[in-house]
Chains A and B, each alone.
Chain A
Amino acid sequence: MLATLVTAVTNGLRGEIVRVEIDVAPGLPICHIVGLPDAALSEARERVRGAIRNSGFQYPLSRITVNLAPADRRKRGSAYDLAIAVGILVASGQIRRGSGSWALLGELSLSGTVEPVAGVLPMVATLQRQGYRRVIVPDANVHEARLVTGVEVVGVVGLDDAARLVAGPRGRTAERATRRPAVELSGPRPAERGPVPRRTTPLAAEMEPVDLVDIRGQGHARWALEVALAGGHNILLIGPPGAGKTLLARSIPGLQPPLDDDEALEVTVIESIAGLLADGSLRRQRPFRAPHHTSSYAALVGGGPALLPGEVTLAHLGVLFLDELAEFDRPALDALRQPLEEGVVAIARATGHVRYPARFQLVAAMNPCRCGHYNDAQKKCRCRPGEPERYVRRVSGPLLDRIDIQVEMARVPTAQLLRGAKPESSTTVRERIAAARVTALARNGGRANAHLPATAIVEACRLEKAADNVLVELGAIHHLSARQTHRLMRVARSIADLRDHVDVSADDVLAAVQLRDQGTIFDQRAAA
């Protein structure tokens, strides 16, 4: 007897429909899975057999052939288990399909429980678009699946539940169709455990958010960060150890406006695919990812055999914070150039190729040299002559070119730490940032100032007469290239937005100049 069911897989951020055909025919008892399965999928037959037997059904002693169509596409993962098991039960006549059709997603354990899988959200969304109206998903994934409207989502705990649903109220189910409880030797039963994320969030989770009110001094750097967040500009903080670079970066999550509905869905889909969606709720908070500088190339840009998204994609619509920028591998850093420019990252590997969105804001921090005390009058730089120059040269020019704002920070004197005036709180600053962002997005047609294309800059960054004069004069003094001029105008635009200026004033342009390295770190050293 032949049974056909529908399930889905993810490819990049999109889901794809996969048809599962199961034929149970007389012959020697054997199970074949065809349609280019990978190792995890080939092992499905063992999980399926265990799950069927332990759910009160009989594993048919016949020749079973499972075909996954389209047959020319590589299949990987364990989300097919449930569809295969239910298909075998239907094909062997143990349940009869009732009214309506179900798409099924889920991994099986030997005991017959249905385990959560990654990427349920985009898979359900695809099923909905393709016209499927009823989906069975693992109980742990039911929240994220319900983010998709227009489709009936039912969560199941075990294979027996799924079998009953497929059979329907009038369908025939085997009498003894109940799961046998497994003998639990290690702790509470799965149902009593909370949901467990499959991949823990690195660093970002451990980095406690900081309120700006607790950061003394660094007035200039605080303001630079405010401008960066208002305009979506990439920012580089340079300073000796202990200047407060990391502390300042940790205040970012508290300064960002929440995601809007479309953005939230996009971010949630990415987390779903990466298996990071523990509670299945819609993500409203902008991502803040802080990979360690020893992270591999694949961890940063994505890849691996499963072509999983990397940190650049997980930071999509949020912030990618790279602490100790100069300590990252050169190839990994240079791989950031494409996503910084285009907002997407293309990953091509032997197992296939995908494109993931990666429109993140880069926040980076680094020491001015290996020992950290270059240009420091109080502490002697322990680097040998020539070493500081080589250190900064690890960050390539093209990457620096894409970082609009670069600020140098010095250590805050102790007296100021203890007696300084109480600074603004994150709430005050967040409101200013949010207002400036709204202004900018409305004017630029939904684009942040940092993403203004060269053609739109003149229109978006209208200059007052005096500002125009200042810019011309600056160009003459510093021999600004077109790219540098545009960068200056974008930053000045963000400053103007924060100050509620309709047109960019001369003051805004003058202030923008101070948000670029004055040449002491990257240029002057080359001449020395």
Chain B
Amino acid sequence: MDERTAWIALACVDGIGEEIFNKLLAVYGSAWTALAAANDGRLDAWMAMRRRIDGQPPINGPTLAHLRATAADPARPLADAAQRGLWIMTALDQDYPTRLRDLDPPPAIIIGRGHADALRGRRAVAVVGTRRPTPAGRLLTTRICHRLVECGAVVVSGLAVGIDGAAHAATIQASGSTVAVIGAGHDRPGPRAHTGLREEIVSSGGALISEYHPRTPAKIGTFPRRNRIIAALGDATLVVEAPIHSGARITATRALDLGRPLFVAPGRIGDWATAGSLAILRETAARPMVGLDELIEDLGYLAPDADRFEGGQPTRAALETLGKTEQAVARRLLDGPASLDSLVEITGLPPAVVSSAVTFLLMRGWIEPVGPTYVVTGVLAR
């Protein structure tokens, strides 16, 4: 039995978390020794000593039983994983993703499906947000991810419904690869609504990973814990929409702990969907994301076509090509999203005229619907 097998076996014992794993490693020097100690009395002696000092044993009864069983058959977890089509990387490996080594301590093992190379991408950004996004948040996520893929970046997120799901889906749509860090073992791989998305992530060159062994159930704490991995896997973290109580705020804190840049898409004051985003901006060193081009520049990913358009010029040129009513509608939309009703109200044009102008702009791909409103896109959004 080599040390790597022992390491995986020890990390896969039910009940042994990061803390105990590292304690055992510190006491016995290696996972191999720790497993050997479980069956030859040295472990019992250590436990007895700790009980005298701390008043309670460091490992509880059921966990000890699991540990002994594993020690008797240490090759089993690796074989089980292989049988399920999962790969395992350990902190011992040479090709362990360098970004994860910034964590102290780095996750002992990473169990994954799909392409392990996605974890070692040259560029990677974590995109996270609420489980209940607004249509605008969903759209912004899609645009950001499309742009990140253009720059050759891997998008990392948490496979939750909402912004996470939109980020994965948009990346796949733009033919990029994406890494999903799930908050439980691979036997419970996230929301049922994302069954199809999981397969697409794998088939499009991305990976589904977890630091927990496959049987680990989703418990209080498993999701927030994995957020540190999401933050670590990205060169930077981007929060799209976060209400006051949002897991995305944990990811944001972890990114700052790691010294990674944190970007937050600001929202309008008073909108519930972005109240948490504004709180992050107020309380931390996060930087606001003010536009796609600016984000790419701040990330240091100069997009191939970043300097082809000079601010505002194409928008003005495009407006000139439009008829009078279309121009009036487009100009209004340049000020911000508007519903058909407010367009009618502000332009003072008959509803039928506004409607045909809106359809015309839609067909050109210059505006798009976001919930009950329309926003500028394409050449008008430059």
Interface residues of A (CB under 8 A from B): 217-224, 375, 377-381, 385-386, 408-410, 412, 416, 420, 470, 473-474, 477, 495, 498-499, 506-515, 518-520, 524, 528
A191 to chain B, nearest CB (A): 55
Quick check: B340 and A220 within 8 Å, CB to CB? Answer: yes
Residue in A410, A509, A515 with the greatest tally of chain B CB atoms within 10 Å: A410
What 5 pairs across the A-B complex have the smallest Cβ distances? A223-B351, A219-B344, A510-B356, A514-B355, A375-B371
Which residue of the partner chain B has the closest CB to A407? B340
Q: In whole angstroms, what is the CA distance A498 to B359 when docked?
A: 19
Task: Please report which residues of chain B, range 104-162, place their CB below 8 angstroms from some CB of chain A when the two chains form the complex.
Answer: 131-132, 134-136, 138, 161-162
Q: A375-B372, A377-B268, A520-B372 are in contact. Are A220 and B351 (CB under 8 A)?
A: yes
Q: Residue B339 at the A interface, CB < 8 A?
A: yes
Q: In whole angstroms, what is the CA distance A161 to B344 when docked?
A: 66
Quick check: B358 and A219 within 8 Å, CB to CB? Answer: no
Q: In whole angstroms, what is the CA distance A217 to B359 when docked?
A: 21
Quick check: A219 and B351 within 8 Å, CB to CB? Answer: yes
B348 to chain A, nearest CB (A): 8
Task: Please report which residues of chain B, range 252-271, place their CB below 8 angstroms from some CB of chain A when the two chains form the complex.
Answer: 268, 270-271
A423 to chain B, nearest CB (A): 11
Across the interface, A513 reaches (CB within 8 A) one of B243, B359, B372, namely B359
Which residue of the partner chain A has the closest CB to B193? A386
Q: Give chain B's interface secondary structure class.
A: helix
B376 to chain A, nearest CB (A): 16
Quick check: B271 and A377 within 8 Å, CB to CB? Answer: yes
A449 to chain B, nearest CB (A): 15
Quick check: A514 and B358 within 8 Å, CB to CB? Answer: yes
Quick check: A511 and B344 within 8 Å, CB to CB? Answer: no
A77 to chain B, nearest CB (A): 51
Inside 8 A of A514's CB, which chain B residues have their CB? 340, 355-356, 358-359
Which residue of the partner chain A has the closest CB to B361? A510
Inside 8 A of A508's CB, which chain B residues have their CB? 352, 356
Q: Residue B272 at the A interface, CB < 8 A?
A: yes
Interface residues of B (CB under 8 A from A): 131-132, 134-136, 138, 161-162, 165, 193, 243, 268, 270-273, 339-341, 344-345, 350-360, 362-363, 369-372
Q: In whole angstroms, what is the CA distance A224 to B341 when docked?
A: 11
Quick check: B369 and A219 within 8 Å, CB to CB? Answer: no
Q: In whole angstroms, what is the CA distance A191 to B131 when docked?
A: 70
Quick check: A219 and B135 within 8 Å, CB to CB? Answer: no
Q: A220-B340, A220-B351 are in contact. Are A510 and B360 (CB under 8 A)?
A: yes
Q: In whole angstroms, what is the CA distance A495 to B362 when docked?
A: 20
Q: In whole angstroms, what is the CA distance A222 to B339 when docked?
A: 14
Quick check: B356 and A380 within 8 Å, CB to CB? Answer: no
Quick check: B354 and A220 within 8 Å, CB to CB? Answer: yes
Q: In whole angstroms, what is the CA distance A57 to B273 when docked?
A: 84
Q: In whole angstroms, what is the CA distance A518 to B355 when docked?
A: 12
Quick check: B345 and A416 within 8 Å, CB to CB? Answer: yes
Inside 8 A of A510's CB, which chain B residues have their CB? 355-357, 359-360
Q: In whole angstroms, what is the CA distance A159 to B131 when docked?
A: 76
Q: In whole angstroms, what is the CA distance A511 to B162 when docked?
A: 33
Quick check: B369 and A217 within 8 Å, CB to CB? Answer: no
Across the interface, B352 reaches (CB within 8 A) one of A380, A381, A473, A511, namely A511
B155 to chain A, nearest CB (A): 18
Q: A220-B340, A222-B351, A410-B341 are in contact. Are A507 and B356 (CB under 8 A)?
A: yes
Quick check: B345 and A518 within 8 Å, CB to CB? Answer: no
Q: In whole angstroms, what is the CA distance A13 to B358 when docked?
A: 48
Across the interface, B341 reaches (CB within 8 A) one of A221, A377, A379, namely A221
Quick check: B359 and A520 within 8 Å, CB to CB? Answer: no
Quick check: A375 and B355 within 8 Å, CB to CB? Answer: no
Across the interface, A375 reaches (CB within 8 A) one of B134, B268, B350, B358, namely B134
A245 to chain B, nearest CB (A): 13
Given contacts A513-B359, A514-B355, A514-B359, 9 further A-B contacts (CB under 8 A): A218-B341, A220-B344, A223-B350, A377-B371, A385-B161, A507-B352, A510-B356, A511-B353, A520-B371
Residue in A377, A473, A514, A528 with the greatest tally of chain B CB atoms within 10 Å: A377
Quick check: A219 and B193 within 8 Å, CB to CB? Answer: no
Inside 8 A of B345's CB, which chain A residues have their CB? 217, 219, 416, 420
User: How many residue pairs at the A-B interface have CB separations less than 8 Å?
Assistant: 102
Quick check: A375 and B135 within 8 Å, CB to CB? Answer: yes
B244 to chain A, nearest CB (A): 10
Inside 8 A of A220's CB, which chain B residues have their CB? 339-341, 344, 351, 354-355
A376 to chain B, nearest CB (A): 8
Which residue of the partner chain A has the closest CB to B166? A528
Inside 8 A of B138's CB, which chain A residues have their CB? 528
Quick check: B161 and A410 within 8 Å, CB to CB? Answer: no
B19 to chain A, nearest CB (A): 33
B370 to chain A, nearest CB (A): 8
Inside 8 A of B268's CB, which chain A residues have their CB? 377
Quick check: A409 and B341 within 8 Å, CB to CB? Answer: yes
Q: In whole angstroms, what is the CA distance A410 to B345 when docked?
A: 13
Inside 8 A of A375's CB, which chain B residues have their CB? 134-135, 371-372
Inside 8 A of A506's CB, which chain B residues have their CB? 356
Quick check: B352 and A519 within 8 Å, CB to CB? Answer: no
Across the interface, A495 reaches (CB within 8 A) one of B162, B165, B352, namely B352
Inside 8 A of A495's CB, which chain B residues have their CB? 352
Inside 8 A of A378's CB, which chain B residues have their CB? 270-271
Inside 8 A of A408's CB, which chain B residues have their CB? 339, 372
25 of the cross-chain contacts (CB-CB < 8 Å) are A218-B341, A219-B354, A220-B339, A220-B340, A220-B341, A223-B351, A223-B355, A375-B372, A377-B136, A377-B268, A380-B272, A385-B131, A385-B132, A385-B161, A408-B339, A409-B372, A420-B345, A477-B363, A499-B352, A506-B356, A508-B352, A510-B357, A511-B352, A512-B355, A520-B371
Inside 8 A of B369's CB, which chain A residues have their CB? 518-520
Quick check: A474 and B193 within 8 Å, CB to CB? Answer: no
Which residue of the partner chain B has the closest CB to A409? B341
Inside 8 A of B271's CB, which chain A residues have their CB? 377-378
Quick check: A219 and B134 within 8 Å, CB to CB? Answer: no
Q: In whole angstroms, what is the CA distance A90 to B85 when docked?
A: 98
Which residue of the partner chain A has the closest CB to B137? A377
Across the interface, B355 reaches (CB within 8 A) one of A473, A498, A511, namely A511
Inside 8 A of A380's CB, which chain B residues have their CB? 243, 272-273
Q: In whole angstroms, what is the CA distance A333 to B271 when docked?
A: 36
Residue in A217, A410, A511, A515 with the greatest tally of chain B CB atoms within 10 Å: A511
Quick check: B355 and A515 within 8 Å, CB to CB? Answer: yes
B161 to chain A, nearest CB (A): 6
Inside 8 A of A222's CB, which chain B residues have their CB? 351
Q: In whole angstroms, what is the CA distance A420 to B355 when docked?
A: 20
Inside 8 A of B165's CB, which chain A residues have their CB? 528
Quick check: B353 and A377 within 8 Å, CB to CB? Answer: no
Q: In whole angstroms, what is the CA distance A515 to B354 when docked?
A: 12
Q: In whole angstroms, what is the CA distance A528 to B369 when docked?
A: 15
Q: In whole angstroms, what is the CA distance A520 to B370 when docked?
A: 7
Inside 8 A of B161's CB, which chain A residues have their CB? 385, 528
B6 to chain A, nearest CB (A): 42
Which residue of the partner chain B has the closest CB to A239? B372
Which residue of the partner chain B has the closest CB to A499? B352
Inside 8 A of B356's CB, which chain A residues have their CB? 506-511, 514
Which residue of the partner chain A has the closest CB to B243? A380
B243 to chain A, nearest CB (A): 8
Which residue of the partner chain B has the closest CB to A377? B271
Inside 8 A of B340's CB, which chain A residues have their CB? 219-220, 514
Q: In whole angstroms, what is the CA distance A409 to B268 when docked?
A: 22
Inside 8 A of B132's CB, which chain A residues have their CB? 381, 385
Q: In whole angstroms, what is the CA distance A476 to B135 when docked?
A: 25
Q: In whole angstroms, what is the CA distance A351 to B59 when docked?
A: 77
Q: In whole angstroms, what is the CA distance A513 to B355 when docked?
A: 8
Q: In whole angstroms, what is the CA distance A118 to B138 when docked?
A: 59
Inside 8 A of A520's CB, which chain B residues have their CB? 135, 369-372
Q: A220-B351, A377-B268, A378-B271 are in contact. Are A511 and B363 (CB under 8 A)?
A: no
A80 to chain B, nearest CB (A): 57
